[in-house]
Amino acid sequence: MNRYRPPSVRNFKLFIGELTAEAAAVHVSLLETQKHEEEKCWRCIAKEAGIKLDGITSDRILNSQLRLSIVSIYSGFDLFLEEIESECKSFGFKWIKPDKTPPLEVLKKNFTGMPENTTHFRYETDTVDYFRLLRNSIAHPSTENKKRAEDFYKKNTESIIYVRNKYNMVSAPNDPNNISFHDIKFWCRLLLDYTETIAGLLEPEEKMIYSKVPFDKWRKYGKNHEKLKSVAKKYIHSEYSYCLEKADKIVEKFYDSLA
């Protein structure tokens, strides 16, 4: 595979995998509990565990869990944005970040490439921007934040329809007042793809990739140039997910046996 996939993308993938599995387990458990709620209410169950709990129902927990999952997913995405910015800076990017600029706009100002289809990318970016506003309406539930998310959803129907069709979804993404477990699945799928696209649009030059190869760690190989080139190739393949052929090309292009 020649597609650039830095550690930030892989870390986000691991985070989403764990979150999806746990959210699904909790959701299924609550649905199962719901069937027996009349027989054994939450208050009684909590009492057995030595916890005082009043006024809680499975419906309420389900709704709360969905909303908190949305916040958690966005937190992971936010960490991805921080991590990929840090990666770019470590390569020597002149990172442009104007004050009070939304995160996706900051990314656009720093892209090194162009999307394969600018219209489709705009649709996806609009949808992710809606996700940001949705998260804000949950984490900071002011009337203003809720209205901003609702209005954005209504005004960007073209983008919403596009991503629904792309992922063969009928039941997501939903407006802020009708979130379901399908939204959790949808946002995880969309963001996994979107983060890979973002990484590709921030791909460093080959010489920048080569500059990060830690030759100092392999001093034990001395002047064994073939061995040094071999471990360098494997490092690039492992760290940035380039195929071995691409990694070999980068090493051969910049390796200097006299350095």
Q: Judge whether 207 and 238 are in contact, CB under 8 Å.
A: no
**Which pLDDT does position 121 carry in this prediction?**
97
Q: Are residues 224 and 194 in the same domain?
A: no
Confidence (pTM): 0.89
Q: Which of 176, 201, 226 is the last residue of a domain?
A: 201
**CB contact burial 104-136 (16+ within 10 A = b; e otherwise):** eeebeebeeeebeeeeebebbbbbbbbbbbbbb
73 is a domain residue: yes
Which pLDDT band, with edges at 50, 70 and 90, does 245 fall under? very high
Domain assignment of residue 2, yes or no: no
CB-based contact 218:229 (threshold 8 Å)? no
Q: Are 74 and 103 in contact (CB under 8 A)?
A: no
Tens of pLDDT, residues 179-201: 999 999 999 999 999 999 999 99
Query: Could you give the percent of the chain with pLDDT greater than 70?
Result: 97
133 in the same domain as 53: yes
Q: With bands split at pLDDT 50, 70 and 90, how would you rate the model's confidence at 208?
A: very high
Is residue 148, in this structure, part of any structural domain at all? yes
- Residue 30, pLDDT > 90, answer no
Are both 169 and 142 inside the same structural domain?
yes
Kindly tell me if the per-residue pLDDT of 29 is higher than 90: no
Considering the domain architecture, whether residues 51 and 77 belong to the same structural domain is answered as: yes
Instruction: Tell me which residue range forms the domain holding 82.
Output: 7-201
pLDDT of residue 32: 77
Boundary-marking domain end, from 201, 225, 241: 201
Domains identified in the chain, total number: 2
Give the pLDDT score at 46. Answer: 78
The answer to whether 170 and 164 have CB atoms below 8 angstroms apart is yes
Gap between the Cα atoms of 235 and 43, Å rounded: 55
How far is Cα 207 from Cα 210, in angstroms, rounded to an integer?
Answer: 5
Q: Within this chain, do residues 34 and 99 fall inside the same structural domain, yes or no? A: yes
* Cβ atoms within 10 Å of 239's Cβ, excluding its own: 17
- Same domain? 214 vs 110: no
